[in-house]
């Protein structure tokens, strides 16, 4: 297992997606600042936070799976906000499909971690 949560492929992909969400939401209308923009940014960033928190608890499989489940929940919330953004015409269908695809990939990786917490358990030193 990697030495830091920052080394995990799933973290890198989630972080990249969160940064892409941040950039794209800069183009959203100002009336969405405290609604969709803020929510989309927070949920996408929370995926990364939960992965980091879970990584630190990986020696406890149930807690690790719970944190990864939290990450998956936040990822789903991000997808729902992307659905709204596309429905409001803040995203092109191409950009929407690209972001959803990236989010689904992150979700598959998180789900694998939830289903196989033993693979993330730290090795004895």
What share of the chain in percent tops pLDDT 70?
A: 96
**Predicted confidence (pLDDT) at residue 124 exceeds the cutoff of 70:** no
Give me the percent of the chain exceeding a pLDDT of 90.
Answer: 83
Question: Cβ–Cβ contacts within 10 Å for residue 28, how many?
Answer: 18
pLDDT for the residue numbered 118: 82
Residue 3 pLDDT class (50, 70, 90 cuts): confident
d(CA 46, CA 6): 14
Domains of the chain from N-terminus onward? 5-119 (1.20.1440.60)
**Around Cβ 1, how many Cβ atoms within 10 Å?**
12
pLDDT at 123: 66
Where residue 45 falls among pLDDT bands split at 50, 70, 90? very high
pLDDT above 70: residue 74: yes
């Amino acid at each position: 297992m990697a030495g830091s949560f920052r080394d995990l492929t799933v973290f890198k992909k989630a972080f990249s997606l969160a940064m892409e969400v941040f950039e794209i939401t800069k183009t959203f209308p100002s009336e969405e600042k405290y609604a969709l923009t803020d929510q989309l940014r927070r949920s996408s960033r929370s995926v990364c936070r939960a992965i980091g928190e879970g990584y630190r608890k990986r020696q406890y499989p149930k807690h690790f799976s719970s944190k990864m489940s939290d990450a998956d929940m936040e990822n789903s919330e991000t997808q729902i906000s992307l659905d709204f953004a596309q429905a409001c015409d803040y995203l092109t269908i191409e950009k929407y499909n690209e972001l959803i695809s990236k989010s689904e990939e992150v979700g598959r990786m998180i789900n694998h971690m939830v289903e196989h917490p033993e693979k993330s358990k730290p090795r004895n030193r």
